[in-house]
Amino acid sequence: MMRSYLSSLLVFLLAAGCGTVRSVECVGSELAAVSSRFLASLDEQQREAANLSLENEEAVSWHFVPGRYAGIEMGALKPEQKQLAHNVLRTMLSATGFAKTMAIADLENVLHEQDSKPGKPAVHRDPNRYALLVCGTPDAGGTFVVRYQGHHASLRMAVVDGMLVGHTPHFLGTNPHVVPAEFARPTVLAREESLARELLAMFDAEQRQ
């Protein structure tokens, strides 16, 4: 029964083309197109920050703590450029994933207010510090890496010869975990946490260990 189901699922995926379920070729092609449009919108100085060599160590580097990361930060983009950057992210993510990623970045505003002290603003808590980086040349049929990175978000897609070969890491977290009521924001990963706790509750003591 399981083998029959998996065979049917494989046939569906192969037939899906560039529809709702996208093949690795479709994702690679779409990511090349949106990344190229994004890079073309940048001036020379911006492009130097946003586009590094595929041999650069940043192509395989990732982290999720507050900091300044290689690539071009969202705060350095004009509104139309930021829209093109968001189109890159929409290609890397589902609609739900994109919404969650934007909500995670928005939590920096909460942290900024919580962590700032008189005369000492928490400047490192800034949603504009999330950075988009392209390593290599995003041509159709090409080989390149796209990375979006900031506090509690690290997303990376690798395309080889036009085909998506990896989407790791795909890291999303939240801070604060539960947002105080006065900030009127939802708990971004509430569903994921609930499922994880439900799974953990199914384990016996040995399995938990």
The model's pLDDT over 156-199, given as tens digits with 9 standing for 90+, comes to 999 999 999 999 999 999 988 888 889 988 889 999 999 999 99
Residue type, 190: A
Q: 5 or 101, which is more confident? A: 101
**Average pLDDT over the chain, rounded to an integer:** 89
At residue 20 the predicted structure's pLDDT band, cuts being 50, 70 and 90, is low
Phi-psi region of 119 (alpha: psi -120 to 50; beta: other; left: phi over 0): left
Worst-scoring range by mean pLDDT, 18-32, 44-58, 104-118?
18-32
Question: According to the model, what pLDDT value does residue 51 have?
Answer: 98
| DSSP of 67-81 | S--SSEEGGGS-HHH
The reply to whether omega before 176 is within 30° of 0 (cis) is yes
Question: What tens digit of pLDDT does each residue of 67-105 get?
Answer: 999 999 999 999 999 999 999 999 999 999 999 999 999
Confidence (pTM): 0.84
